[in-house]
Amino acid sequence: MSDLGSLFLYIGRHFSTEVYLVSSKIQGLIWSAADVVLVLAVLKIAELARRKCGMGKPFVRYGLLYGSLLLTPLLLFTGTPREFFYLESAICGAQFAILLYTVITERNRILDLVLRGVSRTG
């Protein structure tokens, strides 16, 4: 029995659904927190760019982000991997939808803002 084969067999015997769910909840909370910070940073940058053009805050996207933030702690209360997946789909789905919409609709404004930022470095 090779060492690697034994390792796979050990994982196959002991990495239970319960262990998977607990580790998923821990990881899910940590990466969802990262996603919230990341989407917030992108929205703040977009807000700066929109202000330059005389536009207001992207309220709907902030609302979606805060909604996903409220859902995140519920990951702890999921009882099965499938429930975890449903909730994670809602949370990450909203966050990725915000990012996707923002890069598509704000790309030129954000690029303009960054170009101005670069021109001020010299």
What is the contact surface with other proteins in residues (CB under 8 A)?
1-2, 4-5, 8-9, 11-17, 20, 23-24, 27, 30-31, 34-35, 37-38, 41-42, 44-45, 48, 52, 81, 85-86, 89, 92-93, 96-97, 99-100, 103-104, 107, 110-111, 113-122
Task: Give the whole-angstrom CA distance, residue 25 versus residue 67.
Answer: 19
Least separation in angstroms between residue 105's CB and other proteins is 11
The answer to whether the CB of 49 falls within 8 A of the CB of 102 is no
CB 65 to other proteins: min, Å: 13
CB of 70 to other proteins, least distance (A): 19
Classified as helix, coil or strand, 117 is helix
Closer to other proteins by CB, 19 or 60: give it. Answer: 19
Q: Token pair of 114, please?
A: 């960054």
Check if the beta carbon of residue 102 is closer than 8 Å to that of residue 61: yes
Give me the torsion for CA of 60, 64, 66, 68, rounded to 10°: 180
Question: Closest distance between other proteins and the C-beta of residue 69, in Å?
Answer: 14
